[in-house]
Amino acid sequence: MKKPFIVGNWKMNLTLAEGVEFAQSLRNSLSNSNKIICGICPPFIFLKDICKILEGSGIKVSAQNIHSEQRGAYTGEISALMVKEVGCSHVLVGHSERRHIFGETDSFINSKLKAALSANLKPILCIGEKLNEREDGRTKYVVKNQLKDNLRGINADRIKECVIAYEPVWAIGTGKTALPEQANEVHAFIRGILTGDYGEDIADSVYIQYGGSVKPENTGELMAQPEIDGFLVGGASIKLESFSKIIEAASNY
């Protein structure tokens, strides 16, 4: 049985001083915990400092984004090699805000995922439907197309290094959360696609996280679902108290 994998995405929040204090406190609080895998996604300019604080702790540090190219004339962008060099182990790819605010396409997300793997970064691939797509009964259609297009050309050996985060867009930052059974149904659907493409053993080894207004109050009932392997936490991850409560609740599963 896999340990729950809990990742906090700070997005564009906290100051460097606040982030450093958070990371040190998180390291201290998890020093004797071996029941979960934990990670955080600080803003780019905090990564070097946070990686140094968490070095050797087992807590993963993930970048929030990368460009698909390793170098070149891409002002304002960060490459996978740069992220890896400062000490990151993971990177978010295809977050709904990158898709729907910044207009990233499935083909671009696929190229970024390949760039991450080529730099030995583990991508956390985010997929999920918008509210109108769920209401129209197209959740599985959208999720399948995103998953297939984003993983195109990724072989079985490399898929084991990927994490999938199902994040229904309508539940991100809205206070709405997919019912545990709804989330589990989509997770099982995703696992089924991976099984068909890569085999049961590999599909079972891949972490599938849930993301969408995760908070301490709903962690237990979500974690109790058999196909949910952990969480990608947004707003509740920028306060140590709430993030710690989520970690504590997930540790019981």
Q: Write out the catalytic residue numbers.
A: 95, 167
Crossing angle, helix 16-29 and helix 240-250, to 10 degrees?
30
Q: Which residue has the tokens 């304002």?
A: 76
Q: Euclidean distance between the first and final Cα of the chain, in Å? A: 10
CB atoms within 10 A of CB 48: 14
Burial tier of 137 (Cβ tally within 10 Å: 0-12, 13-18, 19+): exposed
Contact (CB, 8 A) for 215 and 250: no
In the chain, DSSP assigns E strands to 5-9, 37-41, 60-63, 90-93, 122-127, 163-166, 207-210, 230-233
Residue 8: name the closest of 253, 252, 249, 230 by CA.
230
CB atoms within 10 A of CB 229: 25
Helix (H, G, I), strand (E, B) or coil at 76: coil
DSSP states along 35-64:
S-EEEEE--GGGHHHHHHHHTTSS-EEEES
